Amino acid sequence: MLFDGPRASALADTWTEKLYYDAAFGKPTEDNVLGLFTVSDGPLPRVGMSDAALLTDILVELTETFGTIVTNSYIDGVVQNWSAAPHIIGSYSMENYGNREVADILVPVQDKVFFASEALGNGDQSTIQGAAFSAMRAARWIRDA
């Protein structure tokens, strides 16, 4: 995480998790790429913003924190608002605060409908490998059905 302590609280709003990070770290590039990943347990005003408005809002926030170096250094931006994307409508799964386990809810239905996703990744929930493990488990269920 690039920001911690007082800066993190200055950048905080109603997000449950808000992380600015070096998106080019470890990649074969000379470019400087600042990424922002946000998560919230509830709805947020930014979700409904257009990509252009969202990008402007983030630049204003960064400029208020770090000064004009932000706008003087800014070249281009890309928004990937997963909450506004059809068929996604959010990001990866997080903690389950319900009374039932996700795996109990998504059990195979009459040996005809099988579920696989990163949400069913057991100890690897919210990861690519969790999605792959749950897909392999579903494939075994289909084979054995």
**What would the pLDDT profile of 11-50 be if each residue is shown by its tens digit?**
445 556 677 888 888 899 988 888 887 776 666 667 778 8
Confidence class for position 75, pLDDT limits 50, 70, 90? very high
Mean pLDDT (whole number) for 103-116: 81
pLDDT value for 93: 66
* Secondary structure (H, E, C), 64-85: HHHCCHHHHHCCCCCCCCHHHC
CB proximity list for 94: less than 8 A, separation 6 or greater:
39, 41, 126
User: Nearest-5° angle of CA 50, CA 82, CA 67?
Assistant: 55
Mean pLDDT (whole number) for 82-99: 69
pLDDT value for 99: 64
- What percentage of the chain reaches a pLDDT higher than 70? 74
Q: Confirm if 92 and 81 have CB atoms less than 8 A apart.
A: no
State the CB neighbour count (10 A cutoff) for residue 18.
17
Does pLDDT of 101 surpass 50? yes
* Secondary structure (H, E, C), 2-33: CCCCHHHHHHCCCCCEEEEEECCCCCCCCCCC
Does pLDDT of 6 surpass 60? no
Which is it for strands 17-22 and 34-39: parallel, antiparallel or unpaired?
Answer: antiparallel
Confidence class for position 103, pLDDT limits 50, 70, 90? low
pLDDT value for 84: 78
pTM, 2 dp: 0.56
